[in-house]
Amino acid sequence: DTVAEPLHWAAHEVAMPAVVRVALPVPLARLFDYLPPAGGVAAGSRVLVPFGHKKMVGVVVATDVEAAVAGTRLKSVLHVLDEGPLLDAEMMQTLAWAADYWLAAPGEAYANALPLALREPRPLPQTAEPGYALTVAGQSARDAGSRRGSSRALLDLLAEAPHTTAELDTALPGWRPAARRLLDAGLVEPRVFAPTGPAPAPAPPLGAEQQAAVDAVAQSFGRFQPFLLDGVTGSGKTEVYLALIAQALAAGKQALLLVPEIGLAPQTLRRLRERLGVPVEVIHSNLAEGERARAWLRARSGEARVVLGTRSAVFTPLPQAGLIVVDEEHDGAYKQQEGFRYHARDLALVRGRTLGVPVLLGSATPSLESLANVDAGRYLALHLRARPGAVRRPQVQIVDMRAQRLDHGLSPALLGAVADTVERGEQVLVFRNRRGYAPALLCHACGWHAECPRCERPMTVHAQRRMLVCHHCDRHAAMPGVCPACGGVELKPQGQGTERLEEALAARFPDVPVLRIDRETTRRRDAFEQLLDGLRDDAAAILVGTQMLAKGHDLPNLTLVAIVGVDEGLHSVDFRAGERLAQLVVQVAGRAGRARKPGRVLLQTHHPDHPLLRGLLAHGYAASARELLAERQQAMLPPYSHQALLRVDAHQRAPVDAFLAEAHAALPADPALRIAGPMPAPMPLRAGRHRGQLLVEADTRGPLHAALRPWQHALAGLPSARRVRWSLDVDPIDL
Ligand code: ADP
Ligand code: ZN
Ligand code: ZN
C-alpha cells in the first residue's frame, strides 16, 4: 500500500496532506485518517481500509481535511464500496451528534446504524424480493414432459405464475436444488418482484379525542414538534398512529413507528398492513441479517413507505420522512445497555428535529422525563380519556394478604375470584414478575440457602429442570438432594415463581387450561404469539406470566387480572423503582376487560397502606406520576438533574477501587458537578466480577457534558484502566 513519506520534519513548514477521515468499528473514541482513493469519495460512503494487520469496512465521515497528525505513515483507502453516500447528510449529522452525546466510540455508532450485512466488503444486496419465472425453453420442456420429481413440480408451479422465494418455500419445500438444475439448463430465470401491499381496509370513525389528537399532530406536519399522547391501554392510541401514518403517506411521506419489543410487532404489523395497503418493512434484531439489510435499503430508496421496528430501527434512513411515532415511550427497552448506550426515544426526537417532522410519543404510563418535558412546554400533551365502545375502566382492589392462609402464596380472596371467573367461562391473568419455581432454596434444619458463588445472591429453583439457576449470571447447578451444610433432607423452596404458580393453579383448577408465559416457555421464535393464538376467545383459561404478558395481544375474554408479588418493588433503593412499579401495575391492569366485558384487577400485597399503591388505586397513574415528580424535584433527581455513571468491574476488588479513586481525582473541580461515590454497584459481585461505580450529576446538561469528554480521555490514559473494564453511561436508567 502507499505510504505518505514525511517530506519535512517541521510540521509548520508543510501543508498537511489532504485525507479522508473514517469511522471504524473499534471501541476507540477517535476517527482514522487515510489518503483518499484516486477517484475521490463522498462522506457517508463505505470504504475498505487497512487497519493493523486486517482490512476493515468504515464510513467516511469527512473528506478533504488536513491530516490530524504530521509525519504519520498514512495509508490509503483500498477500495470505495459505494458509488454515492450510503448514509445521507441527516444520518451523518444524527450519528455524529449521538456519538458525541452518549460518549460513544464514533465507529460503534456507525456500526449500530448499519445492518451487519452492510458492514461487510460486499456489494449491496438486491432490495426487491427475488424469485423465479419460467423461460420459453422452460415452457416447452414442461409441455414436453421432459423433467421429473421436484424439477417437474417446480416447472408446474412456475407455469401457473412466477413465484417469490418466500412463496416457493411454502409451496415446495426443498425447491432450491431443482431451481439450480433448471437455472443451469436455462429453463427458469431469476425474477425480481417489487413488494406490493393489499388494498387498504377502511378505518373506523375516530372518537372526538382521537380526532383532536390527529388534527393537532397533522397541523405540525413539515416541522419538528414533539407530542405526548397519553391514554390507557385500549383507549385507541394505535388508531391515532394509523390515521396519522395514513395522512403522511397520502402526502407522499414515509413514517417510522417504534415499538419496545419484538413481541409487540406482529399484531401491529398486521394492523398496519391491513389498514394502509402499502409495503411495511419490519426491522428488529431477530431478523435474518440479509432481510434486515434489504429492509433498511428499501427504506433508504423510498420503496418502503412505513417502517415498524424495535430500538435499532431508529437508525433507519428516511429520505422522505413525514412522521416518527414511538409507542410505549416509557419502556426501558429503548435504552441500549452496552456498547453504544443510546436511548432510541431520545434519538427519535433528535432525528425529528433534524428531519423537520413531528414526533409522537405514546404511552398509557408516560415516563417522568416526558411529563417534565410537557411541563416545560417542550412537548404538547394529547389525552385519550375515554375507551372506545364505552367499556368501563377496570375496577382495582387491594387484597390484604397479611395473616391470611396462603396457598403457594395465593390468598383465599384471590383464589375465590379466580374460581368465579373461570366458572363464568372467562379468563384470568395471574401476574408474577419472576420466572422459575421459587426465588430461593432454604434448609429448614440449619438455615443454609443456595447461593451463587459468582454473584453472592440466592439461586432460583427450577423444579421441572431440577436445577438451581442464577438469574444474574445464568450459572446452572444440580438441585442438591440434601443440605450441603448439615446433611438435612428438608430443603424448602422459598417464595413463588411463575412455574410454582402454574403448578398450584393447575392442581386447584384441573379442568381449566393453565398457560405459563415467561422467557422459558417462549424461547422459540413466535412461541409467544402461538401460545396466545391457541387460546379460545369463548372458553375459560388461566394465564400465568411475567411482564411479557403486560402488553401486546388483545385478549377479549380476559376479565380478571391478579397481580402478586409486587412488594419487592416497594422497598428498592433505585429512585426509579416507584415509577416502574406504577407503570407495571397500570400496564398489567390494562389487560383486563378490553372488549365488551368489564374487567377486575386484584393487587395482593403485605403493604395495603403503602402510599404509592393507595395513591395509584385511588387516583390513577397521572396523579401518582405527579407525586413522584414532586419527590424527584425536591431531591433534585432526574429529570430535574442530569447524570452520568462510570461503571467499573474486574476479577479482583483492589483494581476496581484503585481505578475509581484515580477516576475521582481526574474529575475537574467544577462546583456545578455533584459526585456520589466511589461506591460498590447495587450488585457488588456479578458473574465473578467485582463491581463499583461513580455517579456524576449536575442540574443542567452544560457543565456535565463539558466535563465528560475530557474525563473520558483522561480515564483511558490512566495506568489503572488497563486492569479493569469500564464504561460511561450518560442518562443511565438503572444505577
Ligand atoms: P391502544 O393502542 O391505546 O391500546 P387501540 O388503538 O389498539 O388502543 O384500540 C383498542 C381497540 O379499540 C382496538 O380493537 C381498536 O380497533 C378499537 N378502536 C380504537 N379506536 C376506535 C374507534 N374510533 N372506533 C372503533 N373502534 C376503535
Ligand atoms: Zn442444613
Ligand atoms: Zn450468578
> Is the model's pLDDT at 506 over the cut of 70?
yes
Tell me how far apart the terminal alpha carbons of the chain are, to the nearest angstrom. Answer: 48
Nearest atom in ligand 1 to 205's CA: 23
Q: 481 alpha carbon to ligand 2 midpoint, in Å?
A: 11
What does each C-alpha distance from 385 to 92, 159, 617 come to in angstroms? 40, 56, 17
Other C-beta atoms within 10 Å of 107: how many? 25
Residue 733's nearest CA partner among 374, 325, 336 is 336
The complex's ipTM works out to 0.97
- 689 contacts: CB under 8 Å, gap ≥ 6: 649, 650, 651, 725
pLDDT value of position 669? 85
pLDDT at residue 661, as a whole number: 96
Say what the pLDDT of residue 545 is. 87
The alpha-helical segments, DSSP class H, found in 232-356 are 237-250, 265-276, 289-301, 344-355
483 is in an annotated binding site: yes
- Write down the pLDDT at residue 8: 39
Q: Please provide the average confidence, as pLDDT, over all residues in the chain.
A: 88
Q: What are 675-707's pLDDT values in tens digits?
A: 998 999 999 999 999 999 999 999 999 999 999
Would you tell me how many other CB atoms lie within 10 Å of the CB of residue 298? Answer: 22
Per-residue pLDDT, averaged over 616-624, amounts to: 88
Place 11 in a pLDDT band, splitting at 50, 70 and 90: very low
| Protein residue closest via CA to atom 5 of ligand 1 | 236
Q: Are 268 and 294 contacting, i.e. CB atoms less than 8 angstroms apart?
A: no
Read off the pLDDT of residues 425-461 as tens digits, 9 standing for 90 and up: 999 999 998 999 999 999 999 999 999 999 999 999 9
Mutate to test the pocket of ligand 1, among 232, 233, 237, 238 (most ligand atoms within 8 A of CB): 238
Nearest CA to ligand 1 atom 18: 236
- In the chain, the percentage of residues whose pLDDT exceeds 90 is 56
Distances (CA, A) of 595 to 239, 263, 555, 558: 16, 21, 8, 9
Distance 384 CA to ligand 1 centre (A): 11
Expressed in angstroms and rounded, the spacing between residue 467 Cα and the centre of ligand 3 is 14
Residue-level length of the chain: 735
- In this predicted structure, what is the pLDDT of residue 6? 38
Give the span between the Cα atoms of 204 and 379, in whole angstroms. 28
Is 462 annotated in a binding site? The answer is no
Note whether 249 and 305 are within 8 A (CB): yes
Tell me the three cell numbers of residue 371.
411529563
Gap from CA of 471 to ligand 3 centroid (Å): 7
Across the range 627-645, mean pLDDT stands at 94
- Cα distance between residue 429 and residue 213, in whole Å: 32
Chain centre to alpha carbon of residue 52: 34
At 255-309, the pLDDT tens digits run 999 999 877 677 788 888 888 888 788 888 777 788 888 889 999 988 889 999 9
**Residue showing cell 442438591:** 480
Q: CA–CA separation, 363 vs 411, rounded Å?
A: 32
CA-to-CA distance for 118 and 127, rounded, in angstroms? 12
Q: What pLDDT, on a 0 to 100 scale, did the predictor assign at position 488?
A: 92
Contacts of 611 (CB under 8 A, 6+ apart): none
Dist CA 322 CA 256 (whole Å): 8
- The answer on pLDDT for 13 being more than 50 is no
Which residue in 324, 346, 357, 345 sits closest to 257, CA to CA?
324
pLDDT score at 645:
97
Query: What pLDDT does residue 121 have?
Result: 85
